[in-house]
Structure 1
């Protein structure tokens, strides 16, 4: 696995399932002498705890975030776009890692580093847990900002996921440029209603 590696990067993504917004990935290389306590899958943490850990990681670890846009999700597919975001996150690290642990079952195509996929890695590997936290914080901030530009969809709370209120807003307000048109509920509404909001 990572035997002999000194700089191990954990990589995770967030935002595969939402109907709107980018998919975001983070890469984190922890400092073995300064690992924040309580690292876990970001979904298992309260917002307050997640933000506290994010601050601790920002001051102690090498972190980088990468995104793939809605347009890239549409052009490629969500899996490929997720991998693009992961590669961008890795490319942004201050120093090149010796080894990469990636949440999931696949290593992104085009990764030219030694790597190992880890299923449910965000609950099994501290560096992947850290990456899940950083990615979640970064994407949530984007969605809160987008919610200011497009009020009514509830993105500041649902983060673009297909909640009842979001689906209702899609019906009432139409589709924005930040919606993923190939995702079923959005595609269905476009196909039925042609109700596109510029």
Structure 2
């Protein structure tokens, strides 16, 4: 099974788990949040290696389900204009890309501390080609070298697709940055993989979540 199929499977299972929780919509927020963290979020983060190294598009599909789960827990509607970033802050929960990075780091540290033979073999392979990405699957150790990522709560719109100020303002709001700060960091955020994601989705010239 390729990682794209795995992500689709994770999304479907997490949505199904979340749907089963809607019968408890009248529970207190704390109880609903506990149910979400116990029954939905683990589905989205398994396995952290190599899930953390997938493309922004792939992780954003998982992040959208996490956003929906938090909106259920806090009882917010789309017209409440509550940002996903504020919901994560209220839940004391990092964005999924950050949480996957932290979990993957712990996995590799445990393998090293316990002296796994597999860890030594993978580390040796990594040192042979430290800067080259795998042809068809993302390399976890290579991704971890880049350090902890900036939290991403929703999809970014590639700069090449933004033909008006609405796109820029929307991205600034969703990232929790001011418009000026967003403009300064937009190019860095987008990177080469953002352009690749756009080509794979066929979303050129559009604004979407």
The bucket for the TM-score relative to the shorter chain is under 0.3
Identify which of structures 1 and 2 has the higher relative contact order when contacts are C-alpha pairs closer than 8 Å and 6+ apart.
Answer: 1
Calculate the TM-score normalised by the size of structure 1. Answer: 0.27
- Which structure: larger Rg? 2
Higher strand share: 1
Calculate the TM-score normalised by the size of structure 2. Answer: 0.26
